Amino acid sequence: MIDFPKNTVLTFSEEEELFRESVREFCERYIAPNWIEVDKRSEQNPMDIPVDIIKKMGEQGLFCIPCSEEYGGQGGTYTMATIAMEEIAYADPSVALAVYALLNTGWPFALELFGSEEACQEIIPEVAKGRAFFGIASTEPQGGSDVAGLKTRAEKKDDVYVISGEKTFISGVGEVQKLEWGGGWFTLARTGGEGHKGISAFALLARKNGELADGWEPTIYEDIGRHGLTTGGFKLTNFEVESKYLIGEENRGFYHVMEGFNLARIVVAAATIGASRWLLEQAVEWFRTRKLFGRNISAFQGVSFKFADLYARWEASRYFVYRASRLADKIYIEKDPSYKPLDLNVPVALAKNYGPETCVDLAEEVMKWYGAYAYTKEAPIFRAWLGPFSYVIGAEGAQNIMRLIIARDIIGREYLK
Amino acid sequence: MKIAVCVKEVYNLEQVKIIKETREPILDVPKKLDDLSRNALEEAIKIREKLGGEVVAISAGSPDLKKTIKEALAMGADRAVIVTDCSNSTPESTALILSKILEKDSYDLIIMGDASSDDYSGQMASRIAEILGLPQITFVSEIKEVSEEKITCVRDMDDYLEVVEADLPCVLSVTNEINEPRIPALKDILKASKKPVETLSANDLGVEIPQPYEIIENLAPEIDRRQEVIEGDAGDVARKLAEIIRREA
């Protein structure tokens, strides 16, 4: 097994190590033996969601990890959430279950940071138990990266916001319909003028207590990978949201969602380093058994040097990811005043940029090392390629947006115009 | 119901690497709670959930126990008593140490694994029962009934199952068929650090650790692979392979 090398830069507490072991054991028992079957079944029918595994994960406390116990969360840290996502994705390198878990950790935590007491009390306990889904719905048909340009509108009438518009490429559209309680998203709608200062955030519940809300029209897409977690879209037509579901201040939604994105990106990157670890192990196993021209194939430097480069990128990704999660703990768990939410921007962008790209590049190389076998559906490696590829394309921020964040901060915003 | 569970720390065997040339194991790996100790703990916790009371984890081992014992506390033990200066203790002296701890309190049940995955000596339950003068039921694969006064267990004797009843207090050793141990959740792990752990030395208990034997060698067994290459067309290869499987299965 490839594990952390001994080091003094990245160390874990006894509790964190024990938690990693417990998640690893849970995953060995319930996820690793089933992930391929889940991926296959949901490929045939995207609504064939692994509800039983989600329920078990809820019972084991793998959702809402940094959320307070008073809201039914686990009372852990963001680093603990990061550990969990890495281990879940190692057991399911298609990353479907890790992404389910990370969405239902990052976004309920963002709700806790900015949402009303009533909304938190109602939503977080159900998500923590695996009875409800709570993710992010910001992308619209015209694009996802230009959050400030979104078109969905919300009009306030008495104590209710009436929302109309459309959201696309949204995770969890099927889960909201199939899980016992239901759920929804941290979503955005325009309550003011143009630009980012006219946007508000809402907890939009498409289904709660098993009942569908009016004005919500869902569609399910057929993804190429990461089956077991649905992607879809929905139209909102005069969808009514009570004002208790307004997240934070009116017209400050852009700022709240950006903090939420930073938090979610850390765990997205954590999932990809978990899948990468599985891929590295597949490669090592192959190198030690596969012989060509009378030698192990790793005896060819064209193979072993490439492996070494990718291993280096993977270790770097891991450092980026855990540095970002430790920083998130300083800001949001320890509430250390010497750290500010904006301090997360570059560390998180580095993690989200490096983690998924390393994972996809690694998957592609491992497939080449395996040769034709990897191109058959008998070898599961392609599932660890297509799943993480979703996080290179987008999800919690496109790769070039990550580059923009880094460049803007290091070079200076005014020099990029 | 007051239950003591004797647990053992072992090397995490999944992480032990063997040096190919010398067959020596590299033991610089983390330790963990032995699997059968977890079965024993699980059974104790189930009894507590049914009848109430307290589960105390008791262990003798190396200074690493201070860390390893947290696994037992996270699983659900209420407190722990550990002795951390007997890394190389023999089964005889470990039984003496554990018995000294057990004598200090009055337990209704003393449960442990039927052996440990490292030494696998399988002596502990019988030795402790003998020292304390208590009835013992070994190789327990099921607890059929338990009350404040009595316990009825199924003993797995490989070829047959035996149902045995004993008055409490009593010593049990369990097999891995008895249950599937729970996996501690994050909340349990966070609570574990706040649970009381009493740390003692063998000296505190008045036990001297004799060294009646020493380990001269600790090598991985030699495994020779036959590496037979079967040649021919697919039909021939399949037939020959089937013959080998039939012959050697």
Chain A partners within 8 Å of B190 (Cβ): 15, 75-76
Question: To which CATH superfamily is domain A14-133 assigned?
Answer: Acyl-CoA dehydrogenase/oxidase, N-terminal domain (1.10.540.10)
The answer on pLDDT for B223 being more than 80 is no
The whole-angstrom distance between B15's CA and the closest CA on chain A is 7
Q: What is the pLDDT of residue A5?
A: 65
CA distance A7 to A19: 19
The whole-angstrom distance between B200's CA and the closest CA on chain A is 21
Mark yes or no for CB contact B71/A18 under 8 Å: yes
DSSP E strand boundaries for B45-168: 54-60, 79-83, 109-113, 136-146, 150-156, 161-167
CATH 3.40.50.720 is held by the domain A134-247? no
Sorted by sequence, the CB contacts under 8 Å of residue B214 that are 6+ apart come out as none
Least Cα distance to A269 among A213, A312, A318 occurs for: A318
| A75 close contact with B: CB closer than 8 A | yes
Ordered structural domains, chain B, with CATH: 2-217 (3.40.50.620)
| B229 close contact with A: CB closer than 8 A | no
Beta strands B109-113 and B170-174 are: parallel
The pLDDT of A275-300, averaged and rounded, is: 95
Question: pLDDT for B19-51, tens place per residue?
Answer: 888 888 887 788 899 999 999 999 999 999 999
Cis peptide before B63 (omega within 30 of 0): no
> Which of residues B141 and B29 earns the better pLDDT score?
B141
CA distance A304 to B197: 49
The whole-angstrom distance between B222's CA and the closest CA on chain A is 19
Residue of chain B whose alpha carbon sits nearest to that of A83? B186
Residue of chain A whose alpha carbon sits nearest to that of B185? A60
Question: pLDDT for A325-346, tens place per residue?
Answer: 999 999 999 999 999 999 999 9
Instruction: Select A253-416's CATH number: 3.40.50.720, 3.40.50.300, 1.20.140.10, 3.40.50.620.
Output: 1.20.140.10
Mark yes or no for CB contact B186/A29 under 8 Å: no
Q: What is the pLDDT of residue A199?
A: 96
CB-based contact B76:B30 (threshold 8 Å)? no
The answer on pLDDT for A383 being more than 80 is yes
The pLDDT of A18-44, averaged and rounded, is: 96
Q: Which of A17, A29, A76 sits opposite B186 (nearest CB)?
A: A76
> Which B positions 134-193 lie with beta carbon below 8 A of chain A?
183-187, 189-190, 192-193
Residue A4: pLDDT band (50, 70, 90) is: low
Residue of chain B whose alpha carbon sits nearest to that of A69? B187
Q: Which of A19, A25, A26 sits opposite B189 (nearest CB)?
A: A19
Mark yes or no for CB contact B14/A1 under 8 Å: yes
DSSP per-residue string spanning A232-277: EEEEEEEEEEEGGGEESSTT-HHHHHHHHHHHHHHHHHHHHHHHHH
Mean pLDDT (chain A) is 95
Same CATH fold, A134-247 and A14-133? no
| B9 close contact with A: CB closer than 8 A | no
The pLDDT of A202-216, averaged and rounded, is: 97
Residue of chain B whose alpha carbon sits nearest to that of A73? B187
Q: What is the pLDDT of residue B141?
A: 97
Mark yes or no for CB contact A22/B190 under 8 Å: no
The answer on pLDDT for A189 being more than 80 is yes
The pLDDT of A365-378, averaged and rounded, is: 94
Measured over the CA atoms of residue A287, residue A290, residue A295 and residue A300, the dihedral's sign is negative
Q: What is the pLDDT of residue A283?
A: 97
> Torsion angle, CA of B74/B75/B81/B87, rounded to 10 degrees?
-90
Complex ipTM over 0.85:
yes
Direct distance between the N- and C-terminal alpha carbons of chain A, in angstroms, rounded to an integer: 47
Chain A partners within 8 Å of B31 (Cβ): none
Domain ranges in chain A? Answer: 14-133, 134-247, 253-416
| A211 close contact with B: CB closer than 8 A | no
Q: What share of chain B has pLDDT > 90, as a percent?
A: 69
CA distance B148 to B223: 51
Chain A partners within 8 Å of B74 (Cβ): 18, 22
Q: What is the pLDDT of residue A139?
A: 94
Mark yes or no for CB contact A60/B185 under 8 Å: yes
Chain A partners within 8 Å of B193 (Cβ): 14-15
